[in-house]
């Protein structure tokens, strides 16, 4: 198999125009630091990239330019600009800086690939995320959550960050692989952690050179990528062997709706990926399936875990909201009866939905969408030259007081006053937009509501340090809370 870490950019992709050297470019540009000046200090940029972008927007406006490592960047923050880049003019852009590093781990999976591969894979991979399949996943999500929460004892201090990560990994692994993935879970979690950390310095062009340094910190990156590829290849080989022995059936849901028990011989995402056919009857080869498996593991757990951890921290600062959520959880029949929920039941939970919407606004797990312009293009009146790096940022646009008064305040009720449909397009994009919109949006929302409600029904979580109930951020490839976010558990229900 060809491993992603060293694989060249596929020849079928559009050629990438070279990055723009700011000093040699004399076309019109939006204002910003480094226009005609020395550029931005890397240290300042890396110390707190979301904060840096927010300060730029406050100082220079909705469209800003700056240079980093000698290359031209444009930050576009107004809703119509976000909409322009992600939706209207999406054909003029490909995924940008951070994704080049992500590709070393995820290869040509859905998150990192480009046209024409993207369209073909996206069409095939939509099926496992169809609405009718979600009911089956809801049972697994609720069962995994129940197992996790049962070990949270009254009076104990629980590291909420790592526990949410373990829980969402367990859920994505069970729904994806259909086996109890615990035997591989530790290995996956360990290598994913390193990979995500090293993908990290997302916005820094030219980091690839450092990857070749003989320092353990850098060398751990290709090792983790290889390890992940090996686990995924092993899972695929096991599944192919099982299919040949005739034990992997198709057509039935992965979870038995009666018992909520997981049956590995039935259909799951991996079975679907292996069986997938496009209109011409072609399927995915093993390299492609491996890249998609790793893509779904990475994109399918870390984001959801982060937003759930933030939500618990925010809830501890908003007792009235927490009480409303607890009251709603106490009325959920699936929780009081201890059975698997239906999608309808979970999605009808109003307060849980508002808490999530607000957490996704303030702490958007995907806080930036880096792009590269393939051609000269104009977006909402801003001329973007071919080769420029373009950043739209959920973190910045979600904090714009024009759409979100008192933007730093955690206020789920704001969504009652001004629901998402009343906002301009592009103002609120936690799941991105256009043809690269999140594939797992409904999966994630369902899972996050189930976990939020199950916690609210059984437990009350308090920060161990009440003076700092909300942890500082450690923005990486995703918007993570710093540290383990320890919280003290009080059991509401046995
Ligand atoms: C709260 C949780 C989640 C958030 C906030 C989130 C957010 C996003 C965003 C913003 C993008 C677009 C990135 C860009 O345009 O640069 C994206 C893409 C994607 N997400 Fe999610 N995501 C979440 C959960 C999930 C889950 C659970 C899965 C899968 C099980 C998933 C799978 C994907 C995939 C495959 C893509 C690439 C889609 C494409 O380019 O066609 N995500 N996600």
**Gyration radius of the chain over CA positions:** 22
Residue closest via CA to ligand 1's atom 41 equals 436
* Strands in 20-88 per DSSP E: 63-68, 71-76
Ligand 1 center–CA 264 separation, angstroms: 25
For the cut 90, the answer to whether the pLDDT of residue 343 exceeds it is yes
Angle at the Cα of 100 from the Cα atoms of 99 and 105, rounded to 5 degrees:
80
Which of 20-29, 173-182, 229-238, 366-375 comes out lowest in average pLDDT?
Answer: 173-182
Ligand 1 center–CA 339 separation, angstroms: 29
Pocket (CB within 6 angstroms of ligand 1): 110-111, 122, 172, 295-296, 299-300, 303-304, 307, 365-366, 369, 430-432, 436, 438-440, 443-444
For the cut 80, the answer to whether the pLDDT of residue 304 exceeds it is yes
Tens of pLDDT, residues 154-194? 999 999 999 999 999 999 988 877 764 567 878 888 898 88
Who wins on pLDDT, 127 or 87? 87
User: Among residues 460, 463, 442, which one has the least CA distance to residue 130?
Assistant: 442
Q: CA 65 to CA 131: how far, in whole Å?
A: 41
For the cut 90, the answer to whether the pLDDT of residue 375 exceeds it is yes
Q: CA 42 to CA 68: how far, in whole Å?
A: 7
Taking the C-alpha atoms of 237, 238, 240 and 242 in order, what is their torsion angle to the nearest 10 degrees?
160
Contacts of 484 (CB under 8 A, 6+ apart): 159, 160, 161, 162
In 3-state terms, what secondary structure has residue 385? coil
Domains of the chain: 4-491 (1.10.630.10)
Nearest ligand 1 atom to the CA of 121 is: 41
Who wins on pLDDT, 7 or 17? 17
Tens of pLDDT, residues 394-405? 999 999 999 999
Ligand 1 center–CA 271 separation, angstroms: 21
Per the structure block, which two tokens stand in for 451?
A: 């976990």
Looking at the chain, the whole-number percentage of residues with pLDDT higher than 70 is 91
């Amino acid at each position: 198999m060809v491993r992603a870490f060293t694989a060249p950019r596929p020849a079928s992709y559009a050629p990438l125009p070279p990055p723009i050297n700011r000093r040699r470019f004399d076309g019109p540009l939006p204002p910003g630091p480094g226009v005609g000046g020395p550029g931005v200090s890397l240290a300042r940029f890396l110390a707190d990239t979301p904060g840096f972008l927010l300060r730029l927007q406050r100082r220079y406006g909705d469209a800003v330019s700056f240079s980093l490592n000698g290359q031209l960047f444009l930050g576009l923050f107004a809703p119509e600009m976000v909409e322009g880049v992600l939706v209207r003019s999406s054909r003029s852009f490909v995924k940008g800086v951070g994704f080049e590093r992500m590709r070393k781990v995820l290869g040509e999976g859905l998150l990192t690939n480009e046209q024409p591969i993207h369209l073909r894979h996206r069409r095939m991979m939509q099926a496992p995320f169809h609405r009718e399949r979600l009911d089956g996943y809801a049972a697994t999500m609720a069962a995994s959550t129940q197992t996790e929460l049962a070990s949270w004892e009254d009076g104990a201090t629980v590291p909420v960050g790592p526990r949410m990560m373990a829980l969402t990994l367990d859920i994505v692994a069970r729904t994806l692989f259909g086996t109890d993935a615990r035997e591989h879970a530790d290995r996956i979690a360990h290598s994913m952690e390193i990979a995500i950390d090293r993908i990290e310095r997302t916005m820094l062009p030219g980091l690839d050179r450092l990857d070749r340094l003989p320092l353990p910190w850098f060398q751990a990156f290709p090792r983790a990528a290889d390890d992940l590829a090996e686990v995924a290849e092993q899972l695929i080989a096991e599944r192919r062997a099982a299919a040949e022995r005739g034990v992997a059936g198709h057509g039935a849901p992965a979870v038995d709706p009666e018992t909520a028990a997981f049956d590995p011989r039935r259909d799951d995402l991996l079975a679907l990926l292996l069986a997938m056919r496009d209109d011409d009857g072609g399927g995915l080869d093993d390299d492609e399936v491996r890249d998609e498996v790793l893509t779904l593991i990475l994109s399918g757990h870390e984001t959801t875990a982060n937003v759930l951890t933030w939500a618990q921290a925010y809830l501890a600062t908003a007792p009235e909201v927490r009480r409303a959520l607890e009251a709603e959880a106490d009325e959920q029949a699936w929780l009081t009866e201890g059975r698997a929920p239906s999608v309808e039941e979970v999605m009808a939970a109003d307060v849980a939905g508002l808490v999530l919407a607000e957490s996704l606004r303030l702490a958007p797990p995907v806080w930036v969408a880096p792009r590269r312009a393939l051609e000269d293009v104009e977006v909402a009146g801003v001329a973007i030259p071919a080769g420029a790096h373009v950043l739209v940022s959920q973190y910045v646009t979600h904090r714009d007081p024009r759409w979100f008064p008192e933007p730093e305040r955690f206020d789920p009720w704001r969504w009652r006053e001004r629901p998402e449909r009343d906002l301009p397009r592009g103002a609120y994009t936690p799941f991105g937009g256009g043809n690269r919109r999140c594939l797992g949006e409904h999966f994630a929302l369902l899972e996050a509501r189930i976990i939020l409600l199950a916690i609210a029904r059984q437990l009350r979580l308090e920060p161990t340090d009440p003076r700092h109930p909300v942890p500082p951020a450690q923005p990486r490839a995703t918007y993570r809370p710093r540290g383990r976010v320890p919280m003290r558990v009080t059991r509401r229900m046995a």
